């Protein structure tokens, strides 16, 4: 199951969907209105839509591939309700430790005009949802981007990041494997190596580190 925000743009994850279908998976490509509702409301809407599509196919084994906030929705959902048949999850650029960029946007005087509740909840302060979630109890692989093309934009992290979340912000306690790829926050979902590594983790429970240099 693919989860990506900014409701309606399922095409953003279409290349990943096609890659996983080539690998033999049934894929439910789910988007959600990330600019409309808080995380507590978004999580059941997004996750259960995908689960219903899988159930309609009679599937008993469930994997998730998420981008950005999608990973937090899965963790939030699982903090309230188990998912029968859940096996492996790959999160692409997730703000698992909250996001400094979200903090910056949350401090804007125009916050109440244009800022969605969910973005505030992705910060690092008292309202942070990711920081209050427990360690994942599923096989989790995280892929983080290291290419920041937004260095001159206010609020962009100074540490190594994908332009939105830093490497450290993507990490979750208890994750099974972790991988860095030279890509940005948005383009990580289109990257050929990310797609290959995602499929590899779903098959093997770990990423392919065979080509990494010591």
In the chain, where are the structural domains located?
Answer: 2-204
The structure tokens 């005009």 sit at 113
With residue 21 as reference, give the H or E element that holds it: helix 14-22
pLDDT of residue 7: 44
Decide: 94 and 172 in contact? Cβ < 8 Å.
yes
Which two three-digit tokens encode residue 45? 């809407």
Residues facing 21 on adjacent strands:
none
Which two three-digit tokens encode residue 137? 């109890």
pLDDT band at 8 (very low <50, low <70, confident <90, very high): very low
The structure tokens 């962009």 sit at 156
pLDDT band at 35 (very low <50, low <70, confident <90, very high): low
On the question of pLDDT at 106 being above 90, the answer is: no
pLDDT of residue 109: 54
DSSP 161: B
pLDDT digits (tens, 9 = 90+) for 120-179: 889 998 889 999 999 999 999 999 999 998 777 777 888 999 999 999 999 999 999 999
pTM of the model: 0.92
Can you tell me the distance from the alpha carbon of 127 to that of 140, in angstroms, rounded to the nearest whole number? Answer: 24
6 vs 126: which has the higher pLDDT: 126
Determine what percent of the chain is predicted with pLDDT higher than 70: 89
pLDDT digits (tens, 9 = 90+) for 50-79: 999 999 999 989 999 999 999 999 999 999
Helix axes 192-204, 14-22, angle to 10 degrees: 50
| Domain made up of 2-204: CATH architecture | 3-Layer(aba) Sandwich (3.40)
The structure tokens 């159930």 sit at 55
């Amino acid at each position: 199951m693919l989860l990506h925000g900014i409701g309606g743009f399922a095409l953003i994850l279409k290349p990943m969907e096609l890659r996983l279908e080539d690998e033999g998976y049934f894929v439910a490509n789910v988007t959600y209105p990330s600019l409309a509702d808080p995380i507590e409301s978004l999580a059941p809407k997004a996750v259960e839509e995908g689960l219903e599509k899988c159930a309609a196919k009679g599937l008993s084994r469930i994997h998730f591939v998420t981008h950005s906030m999608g990973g937090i929705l899965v963790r939030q959902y699982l903090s309230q309700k188990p998912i029968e048949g859940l096996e492996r999850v790959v999160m692409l650029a997730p703000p698992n430790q909250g996001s400094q960029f979200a903090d910056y946007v949350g401090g804007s005087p125009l916050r109440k005009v244009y800022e969605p509740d969910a973005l505030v909840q992705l910060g690092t302060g008292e309202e942070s949802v990711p920081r209050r979630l427990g360690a994942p109890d599923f096989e989790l692989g995280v892929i983080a981007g290291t290419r920041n093309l937004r260095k001159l934009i206010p609020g962009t992290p100074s540490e190594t990041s994908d332009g939105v979340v830093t490497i450290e912000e993507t990490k979750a306690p208890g994750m099974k494997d972790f991988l860095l790829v030279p890509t940005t926050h948005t383009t990580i979902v289109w990257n050929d190596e990310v797609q290959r590594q995602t499929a590899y983790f779903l098959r093997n429970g770990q990423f392919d580190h065979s080509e990494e240099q010591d």
